[in-house]
Structures are given as C-alpha cells and as structure tokens.
C-alpha cells in the first residue's frame, strides 16, 4: 500500500535548510512523496546530496527529468 510521506528536517543542518529555502523557494518539509517501501533515509549521503542539489528527492526524479 502506498503511503504519503513528508520529508523530515531531522537529517539537515539549519544552514542546509536555509540554503535550500533560498535556492528553491520552499522548505524541505513541504516536499512529499508516495512510497510503498517506507521513508527515504536522508542520512544516506547520496539521497541527501541529490535533494540539496536538485530540490526534489531521487524517488521523484522520474517526474522532473
């Protein structure tokens, strides 16, 4: 079953959150995604880096490509 998950700020520093807001115009915790496999682990550097560079998580990349 798919569940809607909002990204938590817990894996990001205050500076990262501020820079993200400046760069993309919205806050990280405003982003939601649907997953049947559970929450994406943004403690994983690859997931975190992708999000901070692109403004959306890898799980949503197919919609933004």
Report pLDDT digits (tens) over 18-28: 999 999 999 99
Judge whether residue 29 has pLDDT over 90.
yes
Q: What is the dihedral of CA 54, 58, 59, 64, to 10 degrees?
A: 40
Query: pTM to 2 decimals?
Result: 0.88
**pLDDT at position 63:** 84
Residue 38 has what pLDDT?
A: 87
Mutual angle of helices 14-24 and 45-54, in 10-degree steps: 30
């Amino acid at each position: 079953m798919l569940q809607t998950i909002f990204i938590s700020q817990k894996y990001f520093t205050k500076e990262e959150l501020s820079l993200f807001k400046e760069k993309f115009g919205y806050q990280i915790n405003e982003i939601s995604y649907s997953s049947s496999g559970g929450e994406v682990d943004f403690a994983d550097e690859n997931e975190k880096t992708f999000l901070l560079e692109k403004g959306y998580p890898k799980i949503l990349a197919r919609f933004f490509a």
